[in-house]
Copies of this chain bind each other. A is one copy, B any other.
Amino acid sequence: MTLHIDSNRLWQSLMQLAEIGATAKGGVCRLALTELDRQGRDLFVGWCRDAGLEVRVDAIGNIFARREGRDPTRRAIAMGSHIDTQPTGGKFDGNFGVLAGLEVLRTLNDHGIETEAPLEVVVWTNEEGSRFVPVMMGSGVFTGAFGLDHVLPQKDVDGFTVAGELDRIGYAGPQAPGEVPGGMFAAYFEAHIEQGPVLEAHQLPIGVVPGALGQRWYDMTVTGMEAHAGPTPMNQRHDALLAASQLVQTVNRIALDHAPHGRATVGFMQVSPNSRNTIPGTVKFSVDFRALDDDALAAMDAALRDACASLAATDERLAIEVEQVVYFPPCRFDPACIASVRQAAEELGLGNMEVVSGAGHDAVYLADVTPTAMIFVPCKDGISHNEIEDASQEHVAAGADVLLNAVLRQAR
């Protein structure tokens, strides 16, 4: 006897929210703390009030919509995500997690179901980081990863500050960051599109997320000797691109050596002078390493540095610099919350598998302060952060059903 959300209502809410900032190509451009973000927030808050929820806003603009429980001593179970988008974003990234949470509460209202614990739906401010850095700003402030004093003065490219824009759109709230009535959440669940191709490839509707990969990002610089392509014999060259291309292969091998969760990407490369008949003198490129535990990340780091040192040792006029520029620790979600998600999926008869999160999410910060889990649903071709991002009504409904039943397990 499992409960189901209202699939059509959820889908209509997603489509209605997607109209705010809709782009010609079918996507959404609703950057954090813009007038469009205000309109999206107002729409959400209006729906919450219609559903009888009590709305609070904190000092970084996170929105909390609360449905009280029967037991005044219980701490709230929270759901949520974000509604800001990338400049060329889609309808589902973030929005799905927020509206699935709202749909859970609407469904409980429909059926007159009271829970023991209070339930909350949260909109986290500026998850995308497209307009203001750092990314995952709202959840980071809420969980203490960084302070208000750090983020409020942050400026966008036009010089507007987070503090000023929060005031302007009317979402600089009175609640202190991290404060929750009755104490910190007892648990947090975030539903999200997978943003990858795994569920689609396995034709399964539900991803049970054991955690999120840690990340180490690097800036690499290979310096050789610029020279004419014609008159320079092969054995008198110090070709920076030849060395860099060897390192691209090495970086890939390092990820394969740490299967299945090791990942490595060279996404950026800049060749200088970048002229077709000149041997490249300098190549800069990025390395993005991800893994599910810190030992693996450290081993990948060591393998990269070893490979660079070995390659540089073959040619005294070749220099290779390795600079780590970003580190996010790996995140393991809460076993009990994960189990609730898996059991909910099983009871609903929904095929599921473990899918590790390769990207960061608000849930990764929440996991620092409360037991947390995520629920993934497939997105078309694994594409996200793109106007053609797409997901099916069937899959988002399945994800919201799992969210509903996982939360009910915790809230009883």
Docked complex: A233-279 residues within 8 A CB-CB of B: 233-234, 236, 239, 241-242, 244-246, 248-249, 252, 255-256, 259-260, 262-271, 274-279
Tell me whether B259 and A267 are in contact (CB under 8 A).
Answer: no
Q: Decide yes or no whether A227 CB sits under 8 A from chain B.
A: yes
Q: Decide yes or no whether A145 CB sits under 8 A from chain B.
A: no
Q: Mark A189-205, 1 if CB is under 8 A from B, else 0.
A: 00000111110010000
Tell me whether B230 and A195 are in contact (CB under 8 A).
Answer: yes
Tell me whether A269 and B241 are in contact (CB under 8 A).
Answer: yes
Q: With CB as the reference atom, state the residue of chain B lying closest to A269.
A: B271
Tell me whether A262 and B234 are in contact (CB under 8 A).
Answer: yes
- In the complex, what residues of B have CB within 8 A of residue A259's CB? 234
Tell me whether B236 and A359 are in contact (CB under 8 A).
Answer: no
Tell me whether A228 and B276 are in contact (CB under 8 A).
Answer: no
Bound Cα distance from A242 to B254, whole angstroms: 13
Q: With CB as the reference atom, state the residue of chain B lying closest to A386.
A: B226
How near does chain B come to A78, taking the closest CB pair, in angstroms? 24
Q: Decide yes or no whether A384 CB sits under 8 A from chain B.
A: yes
How near does chain B come to A92, taking the closest CB pair, in angstroms? 14
Q: Mark A210-241, 1 if CB is under 8 A from B, else 0.
A: 00010101000000000111111110100101
Tell me whether A236 and B268 are in contact (CB under 8 A).
Answer: no
- In the complex, what residues of B have CB within 8 A of residue A265's CB? 229, 239, 276-279
Q: Decide yes or no whether A139 CB sits under 8 A from chain B.
A: no
Q: With CB as the reference atom, state the residue of chain B lying closest to A278.
A: B267
Bound Cα distance from A384 to B259, whole angstroms: 48
Q: With CB as the reference atom, state the residue of chain B lying closest to A241.
A: B266
Q: With CB as the reference atom, state the residue of chain B lying closest to A225.
A: B381
Tell me whether A231 and B357 are in contact (CB under 8 A).
Answer: yes
How near does chain B come to A18, taking the closest CB pair, in angstroms? 20
Docked complex: A289-319 residues within 8 A CB-CB of B: 290
Tell me whether A267 and B262 are in contact (CB under 8 A).
Answer: no
How near does chain B come to A391, taking the closest CB pair, in angstroms? 14
- In the complex, what residues of B have CB within 8 A of residue A277's CB? 217, 265, 267, 288
Bound Cα distance from A278 to B264, whole angstroms: 11
Bound Cα distance from A162 to B86, whole angstroms: 50
How near does chain B come to A248, taking the closest CB pair, in angstroms? 4
Bound Cα distance from A385 to B277, whole angstroms: 11
Q: Decide yes or no whether A358 CB sits under 8 A from chain B.
A: yes
Tell me whether B274 and A268 are in contact (CB under 8 A).
Answer: yes
Bound Cα distance from A275 to B217, whole angstroms: 12
Q: With CB as the reference atom, state the residue of chain B lying closest to A360.
A: B230
Tell me whether B359 and A228 are in contact (CB under 8 A).
Answer: yes
Of the listed residues A228, A239, A256, A383, the one surrounded by the most CB atoms of chain B closer than 10 A to its CB is: A228
Q: With CB as the reference atom, state the residue of chain B lying closest to A193.
A: B231
Tell me whether A230 and B290 are in contact (CB under 8 A).
Answer: yes
Q: With CB as the reference atom, state the residue of chain B lying closest to A326.
A: B276
Bound Cα distance from A256 to B228, whole angstroms: 17
Tell me whether A263 and B230 are in contact (CB under 8 A).
Answer: yes
Of the listed residues A198, A277, A290, the one surrounded by the most CB atoms of chain B closer than 10 A to its CB is: A277
| Given A194-B231, A196-B231, A197-B232; 12 other pairs, CB 8 A cutoff | A196-B227, A198-B233, A228-B385, A229-B290, A230-B290, A230-B360, A232-B358, A233-B263, A234-B259, A239-B265, A241-B248, A246-B249
Complex A-B: 9 CB contacts under 8 Å: A228-B358, A230-B288, A230-B290, A233-B263, A234-B262, A267-B271, A267-B276, A267-B278, A270-B274
